[in-house]
Amino acid sequence: MSLNHRQFIDCIEANFTMHGVAKVVPDAGNIEAHARRLTEQKLAGKPLSEICEEIATTAARIALPENIESRLRRSLNARPELSCGAASADIIDRSNPE
């Protein structure tokens, strides 16, 4: 019998409850590190949002490699362990070296 996503989560949560598992609160060092990351993300949000449109415009002007679909298929056939994204990034990097 297979479970859908909701049934699977419900089953795990029921077992946690049955065995007395509660939320785990990290130690003070991890809490502080996470709070710092959240603060960095919040501080970076505004400046990043201001340049996102410029980045998208610049990226749209850059020519993509010719025959990218066939090159991607060949790359994935040659290296099936790669994700589609990794293979695409490799093709783009080799086509637009900086």
Runs of H (alpha helix) within the chain: 5-18, 28-61, 68-78, 84-95
Percent of the chain with pLDDT over 90: 70
Mean pLDDT of 37-66: 90
Please report the pLDDT score of residue 49 as a whole number: 84
CA distance 14 to 1: 18
Contact 87, 76 (CB under 8 A): yes
Mean pLDDT of 11-20: 91
pLDDT of residue 18: 92
pLDDT band at 98 (very low <50, low <70, confident <90, very high): low
| Amino acid letter for position 18 | M
Question: What pLDDT was estimated at residue 25?
Answer: 85
Buried b (16+ CB within 10 A) or exposed e, 15-43: eeeeeeeeeeeeeeeeeeeeeeeeeeeee
- DSSP line for 29-42: HHHHHHHHHHHHHH
pTM listed for this prediction: 0.50
Compute the mean pLDDT over every residue in the chain, rounded to the nearest whole number. 90
Domain ranges, ordered by start, for the chain? 27-62, 64-98
